[in-house]
């Protein structure tokens, strides 16, 4: 997915939010905004928003020296998600369609997103999404592919959401590789976050090689490409991964909440819609 | 009022919004965003946000050649406001406290603001504000000053809101000078807009000399300063005028809806609060 003009003010918001997380020094924050402002003219509009997002966070790191401004808040979100995990697990166990309920839980976890200019409340938002109608619902196709799949690649998104991913991975009942970001970027799940979320108990954790807040294939390692190309089923969580893979050359199932006007417009759904989308390669 | 770090992403939003109003040419819009981005490092943080807003709109004008991107929408808002004016006038006439109801109507009109990153619906928002509790309510002081005043300076804000100002000016029952912006800036009221709003029937219209979306005293004409300094009562509408006058050296009554986190924080009220504030000179 390309960068839209509407993404540009959002980059400034992201810069301000990340800068404030990294430092209380107003001069440093202003320098981050100055440099982000200067960067705008260099943004390749054909690149994904996630790639520009990466540049913003590099500026924050260069100015403040802080390479993981969201570290503490990621811990908090993982802990919050873990605290409601037993309740959601029970919900899945008691439901008529365990797989679908687990998919809902995993998508509900996608409300935890600090790259987006929205506030959220994990517990109440997750519960709301459990009853929300899907904007795109390719569930039958998903079940068919899952049924035949012998290996699954699951592309993680945010820390905290990662805890809910565990529930879905258990419901898939197949061998799963779970891909994380190579470095801390916004509140995305890194290897440490995945382990803290308990994902090592249910999946093989792999490093995607991507330093952007989304899977950008030309950044990913050869080892990741090998797994990506040969997985029987790829599940992609969240907006950043959607941005990176919406034009890719293989089948992917996207699970996300469309949290901004640009993404919802690209998907052709209302802002706030929850999505289970089958994509079969070639431009969307 | 100084510029806050939180104002900076908002300048990018304003640039995008004004650029889209002025042109559909994506290359031109990107150029406006590039130049606004470059401008960020030059923003004097001790200046008011309204002064930087002026710079943003100058860029839009320079790139597109359009000096009044909001012209059509100002016409529409004035027409919409006029269409509910009779109903609101009746409301004032039938109320126990005509002056207070007219103040409410005038503040309600302040929802019409295209410099703010919010959407609004004139009719429903105005009706909601008619029943909203004030965040700051210096009404007794206002009545006392009004009672003794022989001449009033009323500082206009947005086009459309200007129609509601007419109702309050009638309720003041005193000679009023109504100040407008010197040039089109966002959707602020210019001389043409004031006349179209029917304000020439109830007040003497004067040009403030300010080209910013707010009264910036060092930009205003000598004639305006003379009137400003000698008015018995100054009524200042909206956020832009508040930004310009919140540190000025004379008494001002501010009437506005606090529509963003920066302004509501500065006033010490909740976002969305309606304000009738007595300011007596010296820093707030």
Please list the residues that pair with B137 across neighbouring strands.
Answer: B276
**Residue A2 lies inside a defined structural domain of this protein:** no
Read off the tokens for B164.
Answer: 């509601």
Please say whether the beta carbons of A277 and A196 come within 8 A.
Answer: no
The phi, psi pair for A188, rounded to 5°, reads -70, 155
Residues A256 and A117 occupy one common structural domain? yes
With a pLDDT cut of 70, the percent of chain B lying above it is: 96
Q: Which of A128, A147, A131, A151 is nearest to A226 (CA)?
A: A151
> How confident is the model at residue A117, as a pLDDT?
57
Min CA distance, B1 vs chain A (Å)? 17
Distance, in Å, from the CA atom of A168 to the CA atom of A83, rounded to the nearest integer, reads 17
**Quick one: pLDDT band at residue B111, thresholds 50, 70, 90?**
confident
Residues of B in contact with A20 (CB under 8 A): 5
**Residue A1 lies inside a defined structural domain of this protein:** no
Please list the residues that pair with B154 across neighbouring strands.
Answer: B178, B235
Please say whether the beta carbons of A211 and A232 come within 8 A.
Answer: no
Question: pLDDT tens digits, chain A, 284 residues: what are they?
Answer: 999 999 999 999 999 999 999 999 999 999 999 999 999 999 989 999 999 999 999 999 999 999 999 999 999 999 999 999 999 999 999 999 999 999 999 999 888 776 665 666 777 777 788 889 999 999 999 999 999 999 999 999 999 999 999 999 999 999 999 999 999 999 999 999 999 999 999 999 999 999 999 999 999 999 999 999 999 999 999 999 999 999 999 999 999 999 999 999 999 999 999 999 999 987 54
Q: Is A24 on the interface with B (CB under 8 A)?
A: no
Mean pLDDT, range B4-13, rounded to an integer: 96
Residues A231 and A254 occupy one common structural domain? yes
Domain stops at, among B64, B88, B106: B64
Distance of CA B158 to CAs A193, B180, B276, Å? 49, 9, 17
Q: Is A25 on the interface with B (CB under 8 A)?
A: no
> How confident is the model at residue A250, as a pLDDT?
96
A8 to B12: CB separation less than 8 angstroms, yes or no: yes
Q: Which of B12, B26, B39 sits opposite A12 (nearest CB)?
A: B12
Residues A93 and A116 occupy one common structural domain? yes
Q: Is B3 on the interface with A (CB under 8 A)?
A: no
Please say whether the beta carbons of A153 and A175 come within 8 A.
Answer: no
Residues A19 and A109 occupy one common structural domain? no
> How confident is the model at residue A112, as a pLDDT?
79
**Residue A112 lies inside a defined structural domain of this protein:** yes
Mean pLDDT, range B155-184, rounded to an integer: 97
Residues B36 and B121 occupy one common structural domain? no
Min CA distance, B9 vs chain A (Å)? 5
With a pLDDT cut of 90, the percent of chain B lying above it is: 88
Please say whether the beta carbons of A94 and A130 come within 8 A.
Answer: no
What domain range includes position B127? 71-279
Q: Is A28 on the interface with B (CB under 8 A)?
A: no
Q: Which of A160, A138, A162, A157 is nearest to A233 (CA)?
A: A138
**Segment among A245-249, B121-125, B171-175, B273-277 with least mean pLDDT:** B121-125
The whole-model pTM stands at 0.90
Task: Read off the DSSP letter of residue A4.
Answer: P
Domain stops at, among B27, B45, B64: B64
Closest B-chain CA to A17: B6
- The residue ranking higher by pLDDT, B282 or B99, is B99
Residues of B in contact with A5 (CB under 8 A): 16, 20, 26, 29-30, 33
Residues of B in contact with A34 (CB under 8 A): 40-41
Please say whether the beta carbons of A3 and A49 come within 8 A.
Answer: yes
Question: Cβ neighbours of residue B204 under 8 Å, at least 6 residues apart?
Answer: B175, B176, B177, B178
Q: Which of B17, B188, A47 is nearest to B36 (CA)?
A: B17
Q: Is B40 on the interface with A (CB under 8 A)?
A: yes
> How confident is the model at residue B284, as a pLDDT?
46
B33 to A5: CB separation less than 8 angstroms, yes or no: yes
> How confident is the model at residue A128, as a pLDDT?
83
The phi, psi pair for B25, rounded to 5°, reads -80, 110
Distance, in Å, from the CA atom of A39 to the CA atom of A23, rounded to the nearest integer, reads 21
Distance, in Å, from the CA atom of A240 to the CA atom of A251, rounded to the nearest integer, reads 17
Question: Cβ neighbours of residue B241 under 8 Å, at least 6 residues apart?
Answer: B155, B157, B214, B215, B254, B256
A30 to B16: CB separation less than 8 angstroms, yes or no: no
How many Cα atoms are found within 13 Å in the side-chain-facing hemisphere of B200? 8
**Quick one: pLDDT band at residue B114, thresholds 50, 70, 90?**
low
Please say whether the beta carbons of B142 and B134 come within 8 A.
Answer: no
**Residue A284 lies inside a defined structural domain of this protein:** no
Q: Which of A63, A18, A7, A54 is nearest to B5 (CA)?
A: A18
Q: Where are the beta strands (DSSP E) in A192-231?
A: 204-207
- Mutate which of B3, B12, B31, B60 to disrupt the A interface (most A C-beta within 10 Å)? B12
Residue B27 in this model has a pLDDT that exceeds 90: yes
Q: Which of B120, B139, B136 is nearest to B81 (CA)?
A: B120
Residues B91 and B130 occupy one common structural domain? yes
Residues of A in contact with B15 (CB under 8 A): 9
Q: Is B25 on the interface with A (CB under 8 A)?
A: no
Residues of A in contact with B37 (CB under 8 A): 8, 12, 36-41
Residues of B in contact with A30 (CB under 8 A): 5, 45
Residues A208 and A233 occupy one common structural domain? yes
- Mutate which of B5, B9, B18, B22 to disrupt the A interface (most A C-beta within 10 Å)? B9
Distance, in Å, from the CA atom of B76 to the CA atom of B216, rounded to the nearest integer, reads 27
* Torsion B212-B218-B220-B221 (CA) sign: negative
**Residue B1 lies inside a defined structural domain of this protein:** no
Q: Which of A26, A39, A40 sits opposite B5 (nearest CB)?
A: A26
**Residue A272 lies inside a defined structural domain of this protein:** yes
**Quick one: pLDDT band at residue B130, thresholds 50, 70, 90?**
confident
**Residue A258 lies inside a defined structural domain of this protein:** yes
Residues of A in contact with B41 (CB under 8 A): 34, 37-38
Closest B-chain CA to A29: B5
> How confident is the model at residue A116, as a pLDDT?
62
| Helices B26-39 and A7-22, packing angle to 10 deg | 20
Total number of domains constituting chain B: 2
Residue B148 in this model has a pLDDT that exceeds 60: yes
Mean pLDDT, range B194-205, rounded to an integer: 98
Domain stops at, among B25, B47, B64: B64
Element (H, E) at A135: strand A134-137
Residues B102 and B169 occupy one common structural domain? yes
A37 to B40: CB separation less than 8 angstroms, yes or no: yes
A-B interface: how many C-beta pairs under 8 angstroms?
60
What does the H/E/C string look like for chain B? CCCCCCHHHHHHHHHHHHHHHHCCCHHHHHHHHHHHHHHHHHCCCCCCHHHHHHHHHHHHHHHHCCCCCCHHHHHHHHHHHHHHHHHHHHHHHCCCCHHHHHHHHHHHHHHCCCCCCCCCCHHHHHHHHCCCCEEEECHHHHHHHHHHCCCEEEECCECCHHHHHHHHHHHHCCCEEEEEECCCCCCECEHHHHHHCCHHHCCEEEECCCCCCCCCHHHCCHHHHHHHHHCCEEEEEHHHHHHHHCCCCCCEEEEEECCCHHHHHHHCCCCCCEEEEEECCCCC
**Residue A144 lies inside a defined structural domain of this protein:** yes
Residues A161 and A216 occupy one common structural domain? yes
Distance, in Å, from the CA atom of A113 to the CA atom of A25, rounded to the nearest integer, reads 24
Q: Is B33 on the interface with A (CB under 8 A)?
A: yes
Question: A206 in helix, strand or coil?
Answer: strand
- Dihedral angle at the C-alpha atoms of A58, A59, A62, A66, nearest 10 degrees? -70
> How confident is the model at residue A284, as a pLDDT?
47
B5 to A33: CB separation less than 8 angstroms, yes or no: yes
Residues A178 and A140 occupy one common structural domain? yes
Question: Cβ neighbours of residue B155 under 8 Å, at least 6 residues apart?
Answer: B179, B208, B215, B234, B235, B236, B237, B241, B245
State the CATH number of the domain containing residue B269: 3.40.50.10880
Residues A120 and A21 occupy one common structural domain? no
Residues A90 and A227 occupy one common structural domain? yes
């Amino acid at each position: 997915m390309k960068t839209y003009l509407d993404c540009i003010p959002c980059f400034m918001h992201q810069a301000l939010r990340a800068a404030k997380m990294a430092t209380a020094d107003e001069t440093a924050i202003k320098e981050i905004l100055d440099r982000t402002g200067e960067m705008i003219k260099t943004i390749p509009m054909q690149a994904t928003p996630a790639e520009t997002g990466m540049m913003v966070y590099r500026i924050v790191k260069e100015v403040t020296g802080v390479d993981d401004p969201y570290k503490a808040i990621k811990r908090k979100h993982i802990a919050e998600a873990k605290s409601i995990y037993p309740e959601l697990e029970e919900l899945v166990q008691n439901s008529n369609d365990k797989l679908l309920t687990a998919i809902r839980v995993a998508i509900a976890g996608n409300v935890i997103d600090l790259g987006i200019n929205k506030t959220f409340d994990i517990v109440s938002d997750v519960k709301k999404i459990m009853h929300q109608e899907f904007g795109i619902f390719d569930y039958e196709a998903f079940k068919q592919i899952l049924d035949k799949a012998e290996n699954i690649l699951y592309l993680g998104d945010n820390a905290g959401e990662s805890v809910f991913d565990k529930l879905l991975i258990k419901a898939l009942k197949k061998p799963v590789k779970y891909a994380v970001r190579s470095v801390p970027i916004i509140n995305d799940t890194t290897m440490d976050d995945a382990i803290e979320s308990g994902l090592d108990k249910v999946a093989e954790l792999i490093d995607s090689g991507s330093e952007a807040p989304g899977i950008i294939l030309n950044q990913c390692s050869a080892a990741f490409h090998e797994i990506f190309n040969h997985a029987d089923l790829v599940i992609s969580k969240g907006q950043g991964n959607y941005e990176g893979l919406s034009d890719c050359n293989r089948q992917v199932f996207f699970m996300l909440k469309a949290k901004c006007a640009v993404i919802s417009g690209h998907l052709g759904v209302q802002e706030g819609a929850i999505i289970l989308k089958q994509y079969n390669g070639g431009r969307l």
